[in-house]
Structure 1
Amino acid sequence: MIPDSSGPTSRIYFSQRLRLHYVDWGNPGAPPLLLVHGGRDHCRNWDWVATALRRDWHILAPDLRGHGDSQWSPDGSYSMAAYIYDLAQLIHQQELAPVRIISHSLGGMITLRYTGIYPENVHKLIAIEGLGVTPRRMVERAR
């Protein structure tokens, strides 16, 4: 099915009792593609990418906890583990695995770590500016 030219549908899912938001660009018969934004951003920043790719992919773009239309964490938990768990819940609840992922910045950090933990759930990953610990910092931590 070729998707129409309308925008995405807003949807919700729950992770760790938080109400989290994502947009679904339709075309559910196509392979899933997840677009994960960076810090201080939101899912609609990917609209230009989703519009260009929606004919060939079933595109979902989440708002990370505390971003966009997703709920803020009441206990202030914005740890990497919490973000990874939220992503794992979206992929599990929507049955996206094995999924292709394009991510940016904080989204890249999250998806790189998710892929390391659950490699069987990720078909391909593109992480743009997915910052991590520098080699020097890794050595310092090892001491």
Structure 2
Amino acid sequence: MARRIEVTGAGGVRLAAWEFADPAKEGTGAGAGGVLLLHGLMGRAAHWASTARGLSGRYRAVALDQRGHGQSAQPPLEACTREAYVEDAEAALEQLALAPAVLVGHAMGALTAWQLAARRPDLVRGVVICDMRASALGAASQAEWADWFRSWPLPFATLADVRRWFAEDDPRLERPDPARGAFYAEVMHESADGWRPLFDPDRMLRTRESWVHDAHWDELTQVRCPTLVVRGLDGELGRAEAQEMVRVLPDGHYAEIPDAGHVPHYDQPGAWQGVLDQFLGELGTP
């Protein structure tokens, strides 16, 4: 069972996290090293449940609900900055005594991970980047996201409707994707009029605004610890860009997961866990 813990983030924002291992138990704790799991935009710590359980026998695994997500506090729009997200992860490592830790990030969480590793190398001994681009995405991408949020048929009548829409009816889909439906079902909650997201779409857009216009290659060059770039073959991170990211990283490594898209830990959890285990095994203990 996961244990809920509290972290005080940048500006005093209350953050919720879940620890999937008891550091007092044999085989876990500081001797085995800490792993901080950072979800992507619109995600939540629960998205890492399977991954964290797979790690908890050997590592102290903690999944963080980032600001504005899951059960963490909803800060003002102006507090949804890149700096704040990085400072929140830094606070989690320090307050939970996880460092030197491995940071495992999906999408936005991966960007947070490598920015923190560049900024505080003393806290980070390894990074896993899952399906996050280093290139600038630009204004057109942001406008597409705003249109996409407006296309959501809120409120959903049932959780089954959530799964079906994101797996079959979402206009972004090229083909049915049940794993995607399950992924989005995790970020919905039942309200008085139906099922709605745990997050505020405007807050998500403001959060995304803080990184889409900038490229992040220079920060990659500053990450000195071993870093694994993972992509699903049908994900948003293309092979050429992923391999260029590995090239510019001082200690970059690369892995592909077949039959997986943007969320390989949902699409192919066994293959994802295998890739992660191999990387962590090669890192050894701190």
Please point out which of 2, 5, 11 is paired with 1:11.
Answer: 5
One-letter identity of the residue aligned with 1:86: D
Which residue is 1:54 aligned to?
56
Please point out which of 38, 43, 46 is paired with 1:36.
Answer: 38
Which stretch has the larger CA shift, 12-21 or 39-48? 12-21
One-letter identity of the residue aligned with 2:12: R
One-letter identity of the residue aligned with 1:13: V
Instruction: Please state how far the C-alpha of 1:97 moved relative to its aligned partner.
Output: 1.3
Which residue is 2:274 aligned to?
none
1:28-54 CA-partner distances (Å, limit 9, x unpaired): 123111111000010000011111121
Which residue is 2:16 aligned to?
21
Give unpaired runs (5+ residues) of structure 1. Answer: 1-6, 139-143
Q: Would you tell me which structure has more strand in proportion to its own residues?
A: 1
One-letter identity of the residue aligned with 1:24: E
Aligned residues between the structures: 130
Please point out which of 101, 106, 109 is paired with 1:107.
Answer: 109
The answer to whether the 8 Å contact 1:13/1:20 transfers is: yes
Which residue is 2:87 aligned to?
85
Let me know the Cα RMSD of the aligned residues: 1.4
Which residue is 2:150 aligned to?
none
Which residue is 1:3 aligned to?
none
Which stretch has the larger CA shift, 123-132 or 52-61? 123-132
Which stretch has the larger CA shift, 27-36 or 119-128? 27-36
Which stretch has the larger CA shift, 109-118 or 25-34? 25-34
The answer to whether the 8 Å contact 1:108/1:131 transfers is: no
Instruction: Please state how far the C-alpha of 1:75 moved relative to its aligned partner.
Output: 4.8
Report the 3-state secondary structure (helix = DSSP H, G, I; strand = E; otherwise coil) of the residue aligned with 1:120: coil
Which residue is 1:69 aligned to?
71
Give unpaired runs (5+ residues) of structure 2. Answer: 24-28, 137-213, 216-286
Relative to the length of structure 2, the TM-score reads 0.44
Which protein has the larger Cα radius of gyration, Structure 1 or Structure 2? 2
Which residue is 2:98 aligned to?
96
CA distance in 2, matches of 1:52, 1:26: 10
The answer to whether the 8 Å contact 2:33/2:100 transfers is: no
The answer to whether the 8 Å contact 1:108/1:128 transfers is: yes
Q: Would you tell me which structure has more helix in proportion to its own residues?
A: 2
CA distance in 2, matches of 1:118, 1:50: 24
Percent identity of paired positions between Structure 1 and Structure 2: 24
One-letter identity of the residue aligned with 1:112: W
CA distance in 2, matches of 1:63, 1:76: 19
The answer to whether the 8 Å contact 2:21/2:57 transfers is: no
One-letter identity of the residue aligned with 1:25: F
CA distance in 1, matches of 2:21, 2:69: 22
- Structure 1 stretches of 4+ moved >4 Å: none
